[in-house]
Amino acid sequence: MKVELSHIYKSFGNVKANYDISMTVEAGTVYGILGENGAGKSTLSKVLSGFITKDSGKIVLDGMEVDIKTPADAICAGIGMLHQDPLDFPSLSVLDNFMAGRSALGKKRGKKRAETSSNRADLIRELRQLSATFGFDLPPNDRLSNLTVGERQQLEILRLLSLGVKTLILDEPTTGISASQKTALFIAVKQLAADGKSIIFVSHKLEDVEELCDRLMVMRQGKVIGEAEVKGRESNELAASLVDMMFGRELAIPAKHEINIQQTEPALVIQDLQIDGDRLSLQLDKLTVNEGEVIGLAGLEGNGQQLLLLACAGLLKPNAGKIRISDVDMTNRAYSNFLKAGIGYLPADRLQDGLILGLSIHEHFMLRQSHSGFFINWRDTRQFAHQAIETFNIRGKPSTKVERLSGGNQQRTQIALLPDRLNLLLMEQPTRGLDIESTLWIWKQMMARCEKGMMILFTSSDLDEILQYSDRILVFCGGKVSQLIDAKTLTVDKLGQAIGGKFA
């Protein structure tokens, strides 16, 4: 299906999220949308998929103008969107999620039972057949919350395809999924394009765009900055011109973090730790982390990395073992003691665990501040929020509710809310959804904190990020810690093998 957008405008108050956007996606091609955080990529995707109503402009599909006001209108017209933050139902089963949207669509299309069939056996068969086409493995009766982010994405794509979608919008689909899931996703996308579907691929990652897209456009501050052909271009030359279009200048990569362990003290000591999670028990015999050291936790999602972070943050009680921080035994102590000991935690799911929906940036800072007496000093906290917005370059106002921020700006807000002085920072996917410039900026801040002695334990699905910033890497494989490796001795390939249980 050929998709043409012409002169799309959308403002939120005085924010011009989309300003005079025109683009054409040919059938059977993958079209990339690149741009810094807050550039307007998700807004444009939501306009096309009916989640946001445009102020003005035209949407033309295969030469016919269509009026898209709701997601159901979009699906009827053949357009579906995989959202940056999932919109699925974690407490329901895989099959129930697969069925979502069918009956409403059936009514809209004026059909009685045809594709709205509630016959579970038929649906299971359909799900299995579709899964097999793409090599996905999605057990129909499992609870969705037991699936990884990558599997949830796979299911959502299959659901949209089963609803007859011919244009698929993928909003930052490669953040937070494993390398092998990314490979599976890319194969699926190429297969869909070869079948004549049009794919709109929103991303921050130049290498992903280079690998997958035929053409792309770059957005900045709600506008189209330029379009480029991807196929046949030389990689370095393309990357340089895209960075220039996105940020208007070249970016400096910060120097690799290096620490001389002999010169610093062990400040986090973990011994004989055993933690029970829903799906697995994690066993860690010994880990000693020195002041200023960065430990990357590498492994496929759900192999115990999160359990270790939660236990070190005081959010999950281990069954056995000891955690000592700066010579204080923290085992089985209350969460408030962990906070007092200078331990910070940055969760991966910013909307579920990190931020409070419905509250503004200002209100978040109010909650973070300690207040003496009965009254809240709103003026001071407003001032504080203003400052943080400036320092962390958050595109929003103190009164902006966090759910209205763009994905990357939500992540900046989470990071801005961390206490200034920390001894140990535990981070899950710290740069998920951040543009390249922000990623570099965040790590520069983190490295400066490490120079002063702060320790970091972090997970990332991006192996380059783990290699770039870790001193040592703890490899999780098959639900246990398999190796602790000096990052200097590794390459991405070797790390990939270690995660797969091959390299020793």
Looking at beta carbons, which residue is closest to ligand ATP?
408
Distance CA(170)–CA(468), nearest Å, equals: 27
Among ligand ATP, Mg ion, none, what does residue 179 contact (CB within 5–8 Å per kind)?
none
Instruction: Give 346: exposed, middle or buried? Use CB within 10 Å, 0-12, 13-18, 19+.
Output: buried
- 180, 177, 153, 1: which is closest to 83 by C-alpha? 153
314 touches Mg ion by CB under 5 A: no
Q: Interface with Mg ion includes 42 (CB under 5 A)? A: yes
Q: Which is nearer to ligand ATP, 257 or 412 (CB)?
A: 412
State in angstroms the smallest separation of the CB of 472 from Mg ion: 33
Burial of 73 (0-12, 13-18, 19+ CB in 10 A): middle
Number of chain residues interacting with Mg ion (CB under 5 A) = 4
Task: Please name which of 153, 431, 496 lies closest in space to residue 299, comparing C-alpha atoms.
Answer: 496
Report in angstroms how near the CB of residue 462 gets to ligand ATP at its nearest.
16
Element (H, E) at 24: strand 15-25
Q: 359-390: string of b/e by CB count within 10 Å (b at 16+)? A: ebbbbbbbeeeeeeeeeeeeeebbebbeebbe
Q: Are strands 79-82 and 294-298 parallel, antiparallel or unpaired?
A: unpaired
The verdict on 407 binding Mg ion (CB under 5 A) reads yes
Least Å from the CB of residue 48 to ligand ATP: 12
Smaller CB separation from Mg ion, 84 or 290:
84
Q: Which is nearer to ligand ATP, 51 or 335 (CB)?
A: 51
Residue 464 beta carbon to ligand ATP: minimum distance, rounded to whole angstroms? 19
With tokens 């030389």, the residue in question is: 234
Least distance between ligand ATP and beta carbon 490 (Å):
30
Q: Is 411 in the site for Mg ion (CB under 5 A)?
A: no
Q: Partners of 58 in the beta sheet?
A: 6
8 A C-beta contact, residue 270 and residue 321: yes
Contact between 43 and Mg ion by CB under 5 A: the answer reads no
Angle between helices 149-162 and 179-194 (to 10 degrees): 20
Q: Which is nearer to ligand ATP, 80 or 408 (by Cβ)?
A: 408
State which residue has the least CB distance to Mg ion: 42
Which of Mg ion, ligand ATP, none interacts with 395 (beta carbon under 5 to 8 A by kind)? ligand ATP
CB 121 → ligand ATP: shortest distance, Å?
Answer: 40
Phi-psi map region of 137: left, alpha, beta (phi>0 left; psi -120 to 50 alpha): beta
Which of the choices Mg ion, ligand ATP, none does residue 43 contact, using the CB cut-off of 5 to 8 A by kind?
ligand ATP
Question: Using CB under 6 A as the criterion, which residues of the chain lie in contact with ligand ATP when the complex forms?
Answer: 12, 15, 17, 35, 37-43, 84, 395-396, 404-409, 433
List residues near Mg ion by CB under 5 A: 42, 84, 406-407
